[in-house]
Amino acid sequence: MRYSTLAERAQFYCNEFNAEALSRWQPFRKNTVISFLVGKYTQIYLKQFEDIRDDVVVIDDYCNLRGMREYLLKYLPEGVYYDTNHYEDLDICRGCPDCYEVDKCLPCKHHVGQELVFVWTPKTCIVRSTAT
């Protein structure tokens, strides 16, 4: 098994990323946050994003799945995740100095809950669940 190239990622996000199927699986609400890694583990990334290569990039200002795809095509990330936390109002969260810092975010009155999550990976077969 090998890592995908930038060209393969672009092809996937442009042609194979099925926004309709994704929206059936995960109802992206206006307060759903996504995050991604540009190239932390693979070291494969667009050179203009070298300064954020190892960071978790949080996206909370897309309007719809088409807007999400635009971000994915811009950054061509190695992995994309959705935040299982539910927030009352992302505008309030964006103004907070502790925005998206898990240990400080969870007790906040604007954090309204968290989804139950199961993660199966063929590599490790780990099942993780979290809930509040």
Q: Where are the domains of the chain?
A: 6-114
pTM above 0.85, yes or no: no
**Average pLDDT of span 104-124:** 71
Residue 11 has pLDDT above 90, yes or no: yes
Residue 41 has pLDDT above 50, yes or no: yes
Residue 4 has pLDDT above 70, yes or no: yes
Q: Which of 126, 131, 128 is nearest to 106 (CA)?
A: 131
Q: Which of 114, 47, 119, 55 is nearest to 85 (CA)?
A: 114
Residue 23 has pLDDT above 50, yes or no: yes
Phi, psi of 19 (to 5 degrees): -65, -35
Q: What is the four-CA torsion angle of 59, 62, 67, 68, rounded to 10 degrees?
A: 30
**Average pLDDT of span 10-19:** 90
